[in-house]
Structure 1
């Protein structure tokens, strides 16, 4: 505890725990927890690779907590998500290994434009609610995008949950609640392998990460209960809003 306080200060510890709680709620509702926690981790003064690693630790626990809540509520059929989880898992591992040697900025150049397109689709598409709709995309294309999601999740991961939700809705034919529930398991598979690689590499700040895990667990539990209760009327505006907010954030960073 003393070492953490000396490195970033007591105020930053409290701020990051609070951010992880809010991020847990937001992430479980719409997949955007990293948009809150990652910028603050980078501003706290730790190295970028430590920020990524510590964020993955708390995000892994948060995504699993939300995933478990959705599974217990009956919103998830793991048989449908297993292949998507496996593909995302493999490419996330590749991305996490790569980020320790290359900059993730190259991949993130295209992401804001993709998210703007997805946001516009979700905003103007008719009959997108909690009901499933006809999938118009070939399954291979969906697998390719799951691989890209895994790669991006391992490289950077900010907004990965929102990206996966958008993929499942626009390409998989899922309704909002089902997409959110299944996305938590896919994101958990992305976070899990990424977390393991960072742990083996020795980049995780354990004490800070555990403190943030507590905030994530509490926030994710609350967020899952809110999503189950309110469904698409709460989830849809959050997902659409985050698509545009994340796009603007990434574009500002790049330009």
Structure 2
């Protein structure tokens, strides 16, 4: 099905991307908003995934830079895990070409449900800095590339996975954890975008319009995250995780 690209379509996609950027800067899961809307509008699946990764990568870059400028995260401290996220995503994107990702259809909803319940039932999660449960090297060379691999291979919930890992394993405050998650997610997104660009799947004009919306939403969300911290981030993570579980179930049983 071909989509007629009129001003109304671009306007809708601009505001959808802005909302997705705002939510993604706080809790991750912006693709949960963008992908269904583009699919409903009739865009081909591969074009949807590729264009979502393009505009999402700019959104995660914008929110990362915003948090760096505000001193929430330091790139020097996070450059190694960010690189490992990129490497993991590259491997995941290559593997997705070879096997069926439906093997994760049952596992991922359970993991997302567990993350949502963790933040819902543990109000103190990420309220203060705590001692790390694992040292830096196992986290940087094991946990981060594994999540990056998942993002390249499948994708939904990556931001929430990074945030949870930063809080539970490295003892980060929830605001810093969310900021680091955006940087790691940017690195993994770039890897996927590169593959899609080579494959000619990106809709550049649509992506350019959505990037403008993403930047506005990402900056706004990052500022809100710094100002309001866990009061805003924690409930959004819960909502996003539960929403993704519902989406998975609907796709599985009602498609």
Native 8 Å contact 1:109 1:254 kept in 2: no
The counterpart of 1:159, out of the listed 157, 160, 165, is 157
Structure 1: runs of 5+ lacking an equivalent = 1-5
Separation in structure 2 between the aligned mates of residue 174 and residue 187 of structure 1, nearest angstrom: 17
- Say if 2:3 is the partner of 1:7: yes
Native 8 Å contact 1:38 1:158 kept in 2: no
Native 8 Å contact 2:126 2:171 kept in 1: no
Instruction: Label 1:141 to 1:129 Cα distance change in 2 as closer, same or farther (>3 A).
Output: closer
Q: CA deviation at 1:100?
A: 4.2
Native 8 Å contact 1:66 1:224 kept in 2: yes
- Say if 2:142 is the partner of 1:171: no
Q: Please, which moves more after superposition, 136-145 or 17-26?
A: 136-145
Q: CA deviation at 1:56?
A: 0.7
**Count, aligned residues:** 251
Deviations 1:202-255 (A, max 9, x none): 111110011111110111111111111111111111112212221222233233
Separation in structure 2 between the aligned mates of residue 103 and residue 171 of structure 1, nearest angstrom: 30
Q: CA deviation at 1:108?
A: 4.4
Q: CA deviation at 1:8?
A: 3.9
The counterpart of 1:52, out of the listed 22, 27, 49, is 49
The counterpart of 1:34, out of the listed 31, 38, 41, is 31
Structure 2: runs of 5+ lacking an equivalent = none
SS of the equivalent of 2:3 reads helix
- Say if 2:198 is the partner of 1:200: yes
Native 8 Å contact 1:24 1:33 kept in 2: yes
Separation in structure 1 between the aligned mates of residue 195 and residue 230 of structure 2, nearest angstrom: 35
Separation in structure 2 between the aligned mates of residue 137 and residue 119 of structure 1, nearest angstrom: 22
